[in-house]
Amino acid sequence: MATPAFYWFLFYRSHLFFANDIISHGIKWNPYDEIEVFIDGIFYAIEVADQEGHVVIHDLDVRTDQKVKLTNGMYTKVHKVRALKLTSVDPLTDKVKGTADPGSVLIVSEFKAWDQPPVVSIPVITKADGTWVAKFGNEGWDIAHESIGNALICDNDGDCTEVIWEGPPDDIEPDYGEKLTTSKVTFDWPDEPGAGLYKIQLSTKEDFSTLVLSTKTDDSSYAFDVKLLYNTTYYWRIRPFFGDDKGDWFPAWKFFSMDPLTSPVLISPINKELITTSEPIFTWQGVENAATYLIQLSKSSLFDSIYLKATVGSNEFGEQVIPDGKYYWRVRAIDTSGGKGPWSEVRIVKVDAVP
């Protein structure tokens, strides 16, 4: 990700996708001043101002409520990192959401490029529950996978805490806003450099107040072997672990579970048809999201005993010798995860093969 032009204030930058934390100081120091940097009173490093008096510090791991102090021996500047987080970037609704201290005043902006002014900036006030929403759709701007922007909370003296947001990455699975075609889901996300463990959570609530899944994995993918509710919006998020240190939650991504499989509509034989071949062909209409079909034949209308059953990959079954007699038959669809749809109607077929 490109880095935006630095502001005339101190800010904390939390890149959400695989980048480094940065601190920049807003006072125009004397060119080539040696600036001492302290985090919560502990000496961190000495940085040298550039020819324009800017100081930029890379790879600085700062957290909420920590104090960052910069001093050249004559002037000192201290900034407390504010509790500013992103929770989602949603191209479907063109909203960017996050949390901060209640009553905080934010400016949320979208950029076409970091070296250009923002195309739109939206003032937002954090609600009493600590949540905030920037509605870019109301300003006539779309959020896409390639969208970039930031959110800022600035103090009266010009010090700011900043988080940078991006549209959802292209290389996640399921893709953002994807409609599944199977009843189970496998998650996949880009590796976070240095992470040895990930925590993954799945919920039907955007605030993750109730959890369907909460587990840890040492791989950047996870197969959830539980059938999802049909036609439901799900939210999932990832948190990397670096040894004993917890990273921030990535913004939540969402997808939609598949619609339920429908009953196959039987085509032939028609009900109570007399078949004069010992190898009748059974056909039915295809079902959306079906991977295979299960057909059953029984001598009983209750199917309490099964004469024949078979799983086929198409919407017909034949080339099976069936002795003369009366049979009941039905079909159901099965998706790629093994989820079964409802049975079709039951039809009767009479086989009386001509000698």
Q: Is the pLDDT of residue 187 over 60?
A: yes
What are the tens digits of pLDDT across the range 63-93?
Answer: 778 888 889 888 888 878 888 999 999 999 9
β pairing state of 221-224 and 185-188? antiparallel
Contacts of 140 (CB under 8 A, 6+ apart): none
Highest mean pLDDT among 55-69, 136-150, 226-240: 226-240
Q: Indicate the pTM of the whole model.
A: 0.81
What are the tens digits of pLDDT across the range 10-27?
Answer: 333 333 332 334 444 455
- Residue 59: the pLDDT is 63
Task: Indicate where the chain has its CATH 2.60.40.10 domain(s).
Answer: 1-167, 185-256, 266-351
Provide the CATH topology of domain 185-256: Immunoglobulin-like (2.60.40)
Residue 51 confidence class, pLDDT cut points 50, 70, 90: confident
Q: Does domain 266-351 have CATH number 3.90.1010.20?
A: no
Tell me which DSSP letter residue 184 carries.
Answer: S
27 closest CA partner among 58, 61, 52, 45: 52
Q: How many CB atoms lie within 10 A of CB 263?
A: 17
The architecture that CATH gives domain 1-167 is Sandwich (2.60)
Burial of 38 per CB tally in 10 Å (0-12, 13-18, 19+)? middle
